[in-house]
Structure 1
């Protein structure tokens, strides 16, 4: 039995435009034509369409589907196993994103309530990028240090944040002055600045041993969103992120020697 493109679209839910696209791509070419030249789909074509829709539902691209169906020697089971693995990875990542959302809601419930004006008053140009918060949780969320840091941050009052940001601004001013003066990142004054930064994290967020401090410093260079939490964009200089990382690593190395 043969079916027109409209009939196939009607009982499969696939749009006529999509069926035409499959035809042009060589993925599903109807085996018959009506006397007027219109496409006619056979039962075999419908069986092929069912396979295509199955693979599409699993997330295969049209190119991947075409390669699987064009090669009689292709092992569809291998492709399905790989897709099975990928889907499980995506499911795991979605579970972690759910945890991020739940944590964000918890912070909103327990954290300090600030109006937009108060937020600017306290934080100024330092803005916490939500996309970075999500990525950071996916990267560090398994660690006790990250969980403790988030919990303590949520518990800080408006006055706590005022003091935190005032300390950070004073420290940042001295860091930039040392960088502009072309001091060595392993010089005494810069090493002291690195140590102050480590103690600041420990005092307000989570214990920060030198090894953790180095990982945080690496993130400043690898992700501009992380460094913007330390130095706002308007105060940054080219190379300042690498300068701070070098100082933190040098301070960590020195602490191991002490």
Structure 2
């Protein structure tokens, strides 16, 4: 698949970075979309290249439609088109609903929900036939864990967008799916959590561990390439955790 091109938002860290590297192993040219950490983005580019792909890093606020359009422009200029879009950018401030500052809530909505909408809008206009749009949600939409109301609300919206967009793309030969990870060992997950809580969450799935970014990247790579008959679905990748 040396002629395949992917854009991965949130590609400088966590699940996005691992997904970019995994796609590089499949021979993709990858655009690493990142918000602000240029050093991490450059390291991610090197990892994709070491895996066998080509890569560039492009800074873009996913909620800014002009910046996102420019990122897609770069993909087309550098690599000739876009086949796969992975929406992995996200933020996760935690607080009980009654205590969450509404400015923080607005920021979560802007990045997680508006950001997905803006990126998907460009993807609809640009992704070539045979391509895939893969949004990233969270199993927290089902697990209903306290302190995650804002984050889970945005991810529920991402799932709704996915199901509708898949149907809007009838006749285009472009699949649209969501991957909904459970607790995964990323900097976003570990931030602000005491070890006791991390250990308790890790023990919940029948497999008795946290997910690894590579676990989620395998699902993304499957949806990006061979999984042509999976469309309009939410894939819960959480090791068996249940609500």
- State whether TM-score is above 0.5: no
- Larger fraction in helix: 1
- Larger fraction in strand: 2
Superposition TM-score tier, normalisation by shorter sequence: under 0.3
Which one scores higher on RCO, CA 8 angstroms, separation ≥ 6? Answer: 2
TM-score (norm 2): 0.24
